Amino acid sequence: MATLLSVNVGRPKDVGWNGQTVRTGIYKAPVDGPVRVRRLNLDGDGQGDLAGHGGENRAVLVYQIESYHHWRRHLGRDDLAAGNFGENFTVSGLPDDSVCIGDRYRIGSAEFEVTQPRVTCFRVGMRLGVPNMPSLLVAHRRPGFYLRVITEGHVCAGDPIELTRRGKHRLSVSTVDALLYLPNPDVARMQQAADLTALSPGWAESFRERLAGRADAKPAAWVGFRTMRIDAIRRETTDVTSFELTGAEPLPRPLPGQYVTVRICDAGEPAPLRSYSLSGVPSTRRWRISVKREAGGLVSRWLHAHARVGTRVEIGAPRGEFCLAEGQEPVLLLSAGIGITPLLAMLHQLAATAATRRIVWVHTGRDRSSDPFREEVHSLLAGLPHAERHDLHTAPPGRRTDGSDIAALALPADTTAYVCGPTGFMNDMTAALSAVGIRRVHTEMFSARSAVNPGSVPTSSRRAPHPPPGEPGTGPMVTFSRVGLSVRWSAPHLNLLALAEACDVPTRYSCRSGVCHMCETDLITGEVDYVTEPLDPPGPRSALICCATPRTDLVLDM
């Protein structure tokens, strides 16, 4: 019979790691005697990063003594003890390839349900001193699993573990883990996984996204840059100008909402670049970008000062997942300032297809004179039978768009919202939409994406992106296109993620070992090598920066 061998708890604490401070609850130790199990965790226990750990669906982490034996042999370690993998329950007799999602177990006076495999988090590698441990856990099919507490009660080392119910579809923990993280997953089994009511919502949504094709987005139409000609220029406001671009060969039709990266070779060394949303009707003949002149923007200032009809610029292929989806549900296009541009492309698409769905256009600007595309928007909306327009102005007297404006729209819960503008605006609007019951909310940021650094303790020393400290490197040039920073690679940085962190470029990661794809980044141009081979390699036009180094000069979409 399966047995609970050890109950392990630990309070979150701050740990120094790689020049950062990480708040984590992974340091757990065995406790004697009965322990009360509650809905969110065990008495005496806690999680440092509640976005990735803890909560009702991840209340208790389980790991097997048989896997401890495996890792002692594989790693050549004799110092591994109960709790070292961050688990609350060290057990015998519950292997990952037999335990299924939805299985229920009685331990002591409590009952539990299996909800998901372990989160592929870098902190298990940090705890064990094995950086690629998240990758090893998946590759060796020994992740461990989380439990939901069905009935609160007491547990104690030595308690037998009794199976009380088998899960739907009989999908084991190791099978579900492999379906998400290993290459060539079985589609039928992915459909079964997405159908598991016991599976944690985040995992279920990941499977639904992969099945719908959104997680495996169509790659960019070309690598690097193409030379295009400015064919027309139009001043929209005192600080916004539109530029129409044509190419020597037919263009791919961009998706409404995508952006392109513009590089100006005559504007500096290295050539500065900046990404701009396509603002016109999606077309294979000509594209339009609309550029706001920024005081510190090398590209925007050059375009406003020097660009003429006939000027040639270098353009990257259309990219981005902030795209208008087909459907008949109501759609809200909500923007502020120059955030209007991708939503304008979406409105052009809706007009071109004579959409009959309800369309709500809301734009916030400083005042009427500063609203770009005012007449263009009016013309497009006039041809749509169920469209409405709301213009909000912040001056005078400096009023901000708030939740009351959203509530006044009386939008149904099945509305799909697209939001673009300054970060504060998008955060406020996302919260306001959630407050009225709208869950399908898509956002786009013009500059670097917001950081996702699980457990990292913010510091007051974070600066604007800058070259890394120390002597300049001599390796390939690495350009972070969204922040406009170019630096030479140097060997002390273990990978591109470490280089980005040294430059204070916002980063996203979870496993830091080539498993989760959280750090996957588009390669606008260039090639990489992998210091650790990813379990499921990305496409040839993107890179997992947590385990990649530059083979050639790179332009990264970050």
* pLDDT value of position 297: 87
Q: Domain segments of the chain: what residues?
A: 3-212, 225-319, 331-444, 476-556
pLDDT per position as a tens digit, 151-172 = 999 999 999 999 999 999 999 9
Q: Between 3.30.310.50, 3.40.1160.10, 2.40.30.10, 1.10.730.10, what CATH number should domain 225-319 receive?
A: 2.40.30.10
Buried (b) or exposed (e) across 201-219, using 16+ Cβ within 10 A? eebbebbbebeeeeeeeeb
Which string of DSSP letters, residue by residue, matches 395-436?
TTT-PPP-HHHHHHT---TT-EEEEES-HHHHHHHHHHHHHT
The reply to whether 476-556 shares the fold of 331-444 is no
Contacts of 222 (CB under 8 A, 6+ apart): 317
CATH fold of 3-212, please? M1 Pyruvate Kinase; Domain 3 (2.40.33)
pLDDT per position as a tens digit, 103-141 = 999 999 999 999 999 988 999 999 999 999 999 999 999
* pLDDT value of position 461: 56
pLDDT at 348 over 90: yes
pLDDT per position as a tens digit, 259-298 = 999 999 988 888 899 999 999 999 999 999 999 999 888 8
pLDDT per position as a tens digit, 385-409 = 999 999 888 877 666 788 888 999 9
3-state class percentages of the chain: helix first, strand second, coil last, to nearest 5:
20, 30, 50
- Where residue 549 falls (left for φ over 0; alpha for ψ -120 to 50; beta otherwise) is beta
CATH fold of 331-444, please? Rossmann fold (3.40.50)
CATH fold of 476-556, please? Ubiquitin-like (UB roll) (3.10.20)
Specify the 3-state DSSP secondary structure of 496. Answer: helix
pLDDT at 216 over 50: no
Q: Tokens for 25, please give them.
A: 């609850």
To the nearest whole percent, how much of the chain has pLDDT over 90? 78
Contacts of 379 (CB under 8 A, 6+ apart): none
Contacts of 218 (CB under 8 A, 6+ apart): none
> Using 50, 70 and 90 to split pLDDT, how confident is the model at 301?
very high
